[in-house]
Amino acid sequence: MNIKVQFCGLLVLIFLAISYGHKKRLNLITSRVYMGCLYSSMMCLVLDILSVIGIVYRNEFPAHLPEFICKSYLASLVLVSLIATIYISTTLSFRLHFYKKLISVFVVFGIVIEALIYLLPITMCEIPEESLVWTEGPSCYATYVGVFLLILINLIQIFRHSEYIFPRQRTTVIIWMFVWLGAAVIQAMNSHLLVVGFGCALGIATVFAQFENPELNMDRATGLFNYAAFNRYAEQLYGGTKDFYVIAVVFENAAWQYIGDPASVTKMFNAFLEIPGASAFKIMEKQVLLFFTKHEQVVSAWDSLMQRPKTKETEATYYLIENPRCGSSQRDLIELLQYVSIQKKVAKPGSFYVIHDDIVSEMVAQRMMTQQIFDALAEDRVVVYYQPIYSIEKKRFTSAEALVRIIDRDGKLILPGEFINIAENNGMITEIGKRVFEKVCRFFRENDLQNYGMQYIEVNLSVVQCADEKLADNYIKIMNDTKLDPAYINLEITESASVDAKQVLIANMERMIEYGISFSLDDFGTGASNLNYIVDMPVKLVKFDREMSRAYFTSRKAKYVMDAAMHMIHGMGLEIVAEGIETEEQYNMMEKIKIDYIQGYYFSKPLSEQDFLELLRQE
Ligand code: C2E
Ligand code: MG
Ligand code: MG
């Protein structure tokens, strides 16, 4: 009898089922569907064998039994292909929700084919001399059409939405479908070569080896689930509707690397993270995520982690993400942890930190702003506004401060308060700074601003730029390229946080001063720039911050400090700009106390290039 191939296929599948069964595994819907394929395909091979036996001994069985077995075998072939299609549709349904409805359509289609298989006639054929049997007739044709269409649907959905399917899953299922189709073609051309069931089993084994083997989800060093498993599990949770909760444990040391004996590492981690209801994933060298699907479980886990005795190996910081869903995917989750640990400079090891929704919105806003800056740089929407600075002595505008803005795609202005900080954190400030500087140089030169009485333009430098060893080179190159006389540039600095940064800044300043650029100290009186800083820094101007200029009118103490500071600054031969002067009264007071320059809305808000030129022309 031609049943050897089927036996081989069956053995392969039994082996897979056993090895799947006794491994630690994740609760994945798609894996369950896959197991459905595996079991139905085992059933298919058994029915295949039974139908061969049924045909050979058909005279010894009750009248319709062999025919029923043959049709059941055909029906099981359709079932396997239906579940294979659902396997991919389920994966897609996590991202594309209409697939949930499509699955029902596929099921109805499958049922119709199954009904046809049982309703249509079948012919059992045999060559007794060669002991070969097979079936033919309309019932078989319905099966071929059904299976072929389901495989086709499966391939179409894979190719159409390949970006939503894990690459390995995609490749292996494609291999499976083609091996199966190949077997079907062979069987269609030689009807007694019964290889369809075997072909399907081979395909299923491929998917197992490359994607569904639970071992592929394990981290060898720790015995926890690995990053790939995390990806699949999170995809399922974010694609579903049920709530879930996450605790992140960020270890101080990647202890598993140093403890040595793998078995004891595994034991330690399993014991340490043995928490009821948790699925634990090692997603980075020192990061473990615990996922929960029940609120009471995460609450009790959080408490029990707090109580747990801490050892050196397991020293860690803990984060509870109350509502991971306020991000939209696992990517947001990872980014959130990074964001919190970097931006919030969270705490020492051993601390417990609850991440609320507002931090997530903050992160998302920050990410959008990063994109906004990136696009603005690419599309040349970073522009410079100019705020004139009035000389009390000369009674006219003698300089201006260049202030950066981004124009968004709708033409709205975004002020530096919204993006400078973010750009400093992600390093984009260097590019913004260069862009602004270049624009200022060109603007000055193309319009010969010196002819309007402009002695120089003040340009802000971020502390990040000041600590950049290439700053002087970059800026001198821009000045050389634009051929602007360096005397027309004054760079505003603020106090740097670290000593190292200060060294680099001084070196940068010395090179640029030698080249001909002058400097001023911005934000004086805010804590970002103080008196002792003026002593060290080769600046020629000091800018009193808006708050300080204001405090002069409201606080007696501030008045004393400002008077004293002014006295010393003038004593050192430096000049003073008061920022944020809005009223005539404020202006008069500044004049009285002998401030040198005034910058503020009293004279003008920051203006676009055109408006600024207009203002200068009117003057
Ligand atoms: P800053 O350098 O102290 O600039 C002065 C800020 O005070 C400007 O805000 C200006 O519009 C505002 N201002 C001036 N006069 C008045 C007034 O009378 N009343 C009020 N309420 N505000 C006044 P802006 O343009 O929003 O810039 C804010 C900060 O962003 C700047 O403070 C500076 O630290 C930073 N910034 C601006 N442009 C750049 C740049 O190109 N590079 C860098 N690194 N930072 C920049
Ligand atoms: Mg400034
Ligand atoms: Mg300022």
- Looking at residue 128, its amino acid is P
Read off φ and ψ for residue 430, nearest 5 degrees.
-60, -45
H helix count then E strand count, the chain: 23, 16
* 3-class state of residue 118 by DSSP: helix
Q: Is 523 in the pocket of ligand 1 (CB under 6 A)?
A: yes
Q: Is 403 in the pocket of ligand 1 (CB under 6 A)?
A: yes
d(CA 287, CA 316): 9
d(CA 133, CA 248): 60
Pocket perturbation via mutation, ligand 1, pick of 460, 461, 468, 552 by most ligand atoms within 8 A of CB: 460
Residues 6+ apart with CB under 8 A from 609: 383, 384, 386, 443
484 Cα: distance to centroid of ligand 1 (angstroms):
24
Question: Where does residue 277 fall: left (phi above 0), alpha (psi -120 to 50 degrees), or beta otherwise?
Answer: left
Read off φ and ψ for residue 458, nearest 5 degrees.
-90, 130
Which two structure tokens, joined as six digits, stand for 369? 């702003």
Q: Which ligand is nearest to the CA of 431?
A: 1
Question: Radius of gyration of the chain from Cα atoms?
Answer: 37
Angle at CA of residue 325, ends 320 and 328, nearest 5°: 125
Beta partners for residue 543, in sequence order: 577
What number of other Cβ atoms are within 10 A of residue 203's Cβ?
Answer: 26
Beta partners for residue 132, in sequence order: 127
DSSP per position, 505-561: HHHHHHHHHHHT-EEEEEEETSSSB-HHHHHHS--SEEEE-HHHHHHHHH-HHHHHH
Closest C-alpha among 618, 606, 250, 106 to residue 400: 606
Question: Where does residue 558 fall: left (phi above 0), alpha (psi -120 to 50 degrees), or beta otherwise?
Answer: alpha
Q: Is 573 in the pocket of ligand 1 (CB under 6 A)?
A: no
DSSP category for residue 349: T
DSSP category for residue 563: H
Question: Helices marked H in 244-395 — which ranges?
Answer: 255-258, 262-272, 295-307, 330-343, 357-378
Which two structure tokens, joined as six digits, stand for 29? 């819907």
Q: Is 601 in the pocket of ligand 1 (CB under 6 A)?
A: yes
What number of other Cβ atoms are within 10 A of residue 547's Cβ?
Answer: 14
Q: Model confidence over 446-494: pLDDT tens digits?
A: 999 999 999 999 999 999 999 999 999 999 999 999 999 999 999 999 8
- Residues of the chain under the 70 pLDDT cut: 1, 254-260, 262, 313, 343-349, 497, 527-530
Hey, whose CA ends up nearest to atom 19 of ligand 1?
580
Closest atom of ligand 1 to 436 CA is: 41
Hey, whose CA ends up nearest to atom 30 of ligand 1?
416
Closest atom of ligand 1 to 416 CA is: 30
Hey, whose CA ends up nearest to atom 44 of ligand 1?
462
Q: Model confidence over 479-532: pLDDT tens digits?
A: 999 999 999 999 999 887 677 788 999 999 999 999 999 999 998 887 656 677
d(CA 347, CA 345): 6
Hey, whose CA ends up nearest to atom 23 of ligand 1?
580
Q: Model confidence over 176-221: pLDDT tens digits?
A: 999 999 998 898 888 778 888 899 999 999 999 999 999 999 988 7
Task: Provide the whole-model pTM.
Answer: 0.72
d(CA 182, CA 276): 47
Hey, whose CA ends up nearest to atom 22 of ligand 1?
580
Q: Is 67 in the pocket of ligand 1 (CB under 6 A)?
A: no
Q: Is the dihedral of CA 605, 610, 611, 617 positive or negative?
A: positive
